[in-house]
Structure 1
Amino acid sequence: MTLFSLVATHADLDLETVGILSSGAAEVAGSVNVPAVTLATCNRLEIYAESPADDPTAVESSREQLIDAVAETSGVDRQTIASTFRTLVEDDAVSHLFEVGAGLDSAVVGEREIAGQVRKSLADAQNSGTVSGSLTRLFETATRTAKDVGTRTALGSRGRSIVSVALDIAGDMRGNGASFYRGASVVLVGTGAYAGTSLAQLQERGVHDIAVFSGSGRAEQFVAERGAAARALRMEDLAEAFASADLIIGCSGGNRQITAREIRSLAGVGPTGRQKDLTIIDLALSHDFTPDVAELPGVELITLESVKMAAPSETEDSLEQAREVVQSAVQEYLTERQQRSADDAIVALRRHTQSVLDGEMEKVRRQHGCTAAAEEVEFAVRRIVRKLLHTPTVRARELAAEGRTEDYVRALEDVFGLEVEPRDRPERAQPAKRRRAEEFSPVELAQMAAHLQKVPDGGFCQHHRPGEFAVERLAIAQRLAEAQAS
């Protein structure tokens, strides 16, 4: 199998194009028959996938499938997409993902949000059943590496992010940022990942008046889940909140954009309208506000492009520290992966010798029976086989460390006629299927009923107090338990 990735980022494209490509990104991995994980953020769309074979033809075929899927979900011309993505293969794809997770490839170098997005992209792929075991290891290792960069380097200690830079810009525009935020009235539009980060950052800066609006109606749940000192807005509250706001932050990424005309009406912008300036931060990749909002009098619009241009540069020492951590992690991961491929060859050789040994011992038993002599012969032969396999096993690991596993596999094929099959095939995981009540057998239902009798009302099991877990019960199993108890 071959690891490869399709990469479209802010480094090569304008963010508007990246946003268009990312529309429908969540459906891309599920529409192809190769293992794949999609990483879509505010400034990149990357798809990591595995081809079932290591020849260029198989990789190209898998790549074509993904390009077709992106074209279908985004509505962009296929030829344009094919020329837009960079393709990285094997070691290059690994290095790139590790650098991305550590924030080294971000518009704001060293940002901490991207690590969470890498982690979430894996979780989404696992829930959708589009990921393989090797892709899972890749993303988990990239996430651990990002954490190491955050804890072991000066780059991570700064805690910079796209949100923090955007808020810094807004504070600078309004004068003294610290005093501005302490007295600011803020409206947050959206309830996604950036909204959560924005809410936390606003609270850290001392903002006391924060209102949250969601077109999908999730604002109240969003605020409650975070225990935030913020209030949820309904549609009828929006005009009053906009009119009194000093700062509006958009990070919903929905299909509908707020226009200049709507801002003029809702926020009271105009010659006879509001008496204070308004700053708008648009953190949505697909834009929550139309560009003409920036032309309104007394309104400043900060976009992702603005953040990218204004992002502070890092010192070379900090970058070097982070690069060293990442490069070390990449090398360790690649070495372990090479050793796993050597393990496949070792297993194939051991299976072959074990098969030969078992065949010969079967002949001995047929001739001499299960006697002490036969057992002595088997013990001696197995000891000889272990000694004979020691050197080939050590040599396999040495060659793997040198990147020469293919030479070892070819030797096994030539000498023994063995075909080494990878144990970790690039097969897509399948999400667990939820069974309906009628699919359970009477025996299974009886077991459930017996278990429920031992569980306190409202509990999960006999070891946890009621209320610690909430699980949906099968009504039929509950009735059986009640019947048995009575």
Structure 2
Amino acid sequence: MVLLSLVASHSDIDLETVAKISADASQVASVVLASASPVAGAITLATCNRYEIYCEVPQSEDVPAARSEVITQIAASTGLSEETISTALISKTETDVIEHLFSVGAGLDSAVIGEREIAGQVRRALNEAQASGTATGSLVRLFQAASRTAKDVGSRTTLGSRGLSVVSVALELATDLSNDADWSTKDIVIFGTGAYAGATMALLRERGAHNVSVYSASGRADAFVASRGGTALDESTLEAALSHADIIIGCSGSDHRLMSSDITSLDRAERPLVAIDLALTHDFDPELGALAGVDLITLESVRMAAPEEQAQSLREARSIVLDAAETFATEQRERAADAAIVALRRHTQQVLESEVEKVRAQHGCTAAAEEVEFAMRRMMRQLLHVPTVRARELAAQGRAGEYIEALETLYGLAVDAPVAPSMKNAAGCPVTGTQSAAAHHDAPMQSPALRQVG
């Protein structure tokens, strides 16, 4: 099996393009699996400054077709041309996929280096893929290993020890712009109730903010404030809250954008306003920053203001990531030998059982026959030890193909590559997370196909 990722992030393209690609593309993984593409599984990682989709395909030859299908489906969901999507997405395969995801999860590819929020987003991406039935075993192992690596970076280095994040840097910028570090007196309005809104509320509480109101265009503000505090707003109370707000923070990325005309129509009596737009698709009209008395902080502002972490910590973190990526890649390559090992063992087992039957037929169930059978089985285990070790050694070096060719030459065996667990049912539709898990739990172990050739 081959790992493939298609990446659009702030590191390579502007955030506007990332936002356009992300729009309505959350279901691409399910749609791709329901198509006739060679994609066996997929996980989507979408954050405030990246859109990435990780896929598993059967063979290297399937990568172009898989990439083309993903691009086609993203174009269909966003309305952008396939050419635009293809140009914006950077393709990575195999080891590059592993190193990139491990770096992302550890916060090394973030706008704020070392930020910890991304680790949670990696975990949520995996959970969502498992719930929707789009994650294969290899992708699950990949994302779980990325999460473990992020924890190792956090515990073994001082990277991110200051607790910096996109939200915290944005709030620091707001403090500087308002020339007032006392958040307890500020009236604040948050737009959105998602993960970023939750992180924002937590950091506001740490800074002593008390007057926080929350608006959700989808009507989820009441449930949000019930567990996190604050005051829920609706259409009838939003205008009054905005009239008295010192800080407004956009975290929703919904279609309901606050326009500059909405602010100018308010009776604010020239009251200064700091608008923090953390939504990739913009909760606030970019023209807000041109209004008198209004300062606009965007994700681009955060990226420009994010401090550099200590060089030593960064080197240590990158070393941990590279070591973890190489270990995972080696384990994946060793798995490629499993089919060959099982095939060889099955072949020798068949030969052994045939000879054992001859001994039993000739000598019956005597002590001598049992002693001969025991000796034959012990000898077979000893004979298989070196070929088994060599299979894993060669696979770790990326030479599993040589081992498989040797089996065909020496024993006349052909080993079929193990087929990835299908995430589609008999009708070609994606199965649910529960169905997928049940199928994985109840299905018997599938051995690779073994056939005699020549």
Give me the TM-score of the superposition, normalised by structure 2.
Answer: 0.89
The alpha carbon displacement at 1:44 in A equals: 0.9
Change (3 A) 1:319 1:426: farther
What residue ranges of structure 1 are gaps of 5+ in the alignment?
A: 435-486
Pick from 381, 385, 396 the counterpart of residue 380 of structure 2: 385
Is this contact kept in 2: 1:134–1:426, CA < 8 A? Answer: no
Pick from 401, 404, 408 the counterpart of residue 406 of structure 1: 401
What code does the residue aligned with 1:360 have?
E
Give me the TM-score of the superposition, normalised by structure 1.
Answer: 0.83
What is the percentage of aligned positions where both structures have the same residue? 54
Counterpart CA distance in 2 for 1:384 and 1:163 is 65
What code does the residue aligned with 2:107 have?
G
**Match of 1:117?**
121
**Match of 2:256?**
256
Is this contact kept in 1: 2:278–2:298, CA < 8 A? Answer: yes
Change (3 A) 1:41 1:87: same
Counterpart CA distance in 2 for 1:421 and 1:231 is 61
**Match of 1:50?**
56
Q: SS state of the match for residue 198, structure 2?
A: helix
Counterpart CA distance in 2 for 1:364 and 1:24 is 68
1:258-407 matches, within 5 Å, as 258-265=258-265, 267-268=266-267, 273-407=268-402
**Match of 1:203?**
205
The alpha carbon displacement at 1:433 in A equals: 5.6
**Pairs aligned (count):** 423
The alpha carbon displacement at 1:396 in A equals: 2.1
Change (3 A) 1:184 1:346: same
Q: SS state of the match for residue 49, structure 1?
A: strand
**Match of 2:29?**
29
The alpha carbon displacement at 1:294 in A equals: 1.4
Is this contact kept in 2: 1:149–1:156, CA < 8 A? Answer: no
The alpha carbon displacement at 1:160 in A equals: 1.1
Change (3 A) 1:426 1:160: farther
Change (3 A) 1:376 1:190: same
Counterpart CA distance in 2 for 1:141 and 1:153 is 18
Per-residue deviation, residues 20-45 of structure 1 (Å, max 9, x unmatched): 10112211000113211111111111
Counterpart CA distance in 1 for 2:280 and 2:354 is 64
**Match of 1:471?**
none
What code does the residue aligned with 2:91 have?
T
The alpha carbon displacement at 1:356 in A equals: 1.8
Change (3 A) 1:416 1:40: same
TM-align CA RMSD: 1.8
Counterpart CA distance in 1 for 2:49 and 2:204 is 22
Per-residue deviation, residues 357-382 of structure 1 (Å, max 9, x unmatched): 12333344445544444433322211
Is this contact kept in 2: 1:223–1:232, CA < 8 A? Answer: yes
Counterpart CA distance in 2 for 1:24 and 1:413 is 49
Higher CA-based Rg: 1
**Match of 2:445?**
none
What code does the residue aligned with 1:46 have?
E
Is this contact kept in 2: 1:101–1:146, CA < 8 A? Answer: yes
Is this contact kept in 2: 1:95–1:327, CA < 8 A? Answer: yes
**Match of 1:231?**
231
Is this contact kept in 2: 1:151–1:157, CA < 8 A? Answer: no
**Match of 1:140?**
144
**Match of 2:449?**
none
**Match of 1:415?**
410
Is this contact kept in 2: 1:24–1:74, CA < 8 A? Answer: yes
**Match of 2:222?**
220
Is this contact kept in 1: 2:131–2:432, CA < 8 A? Answer: yes
**Match of 1:5?**
5
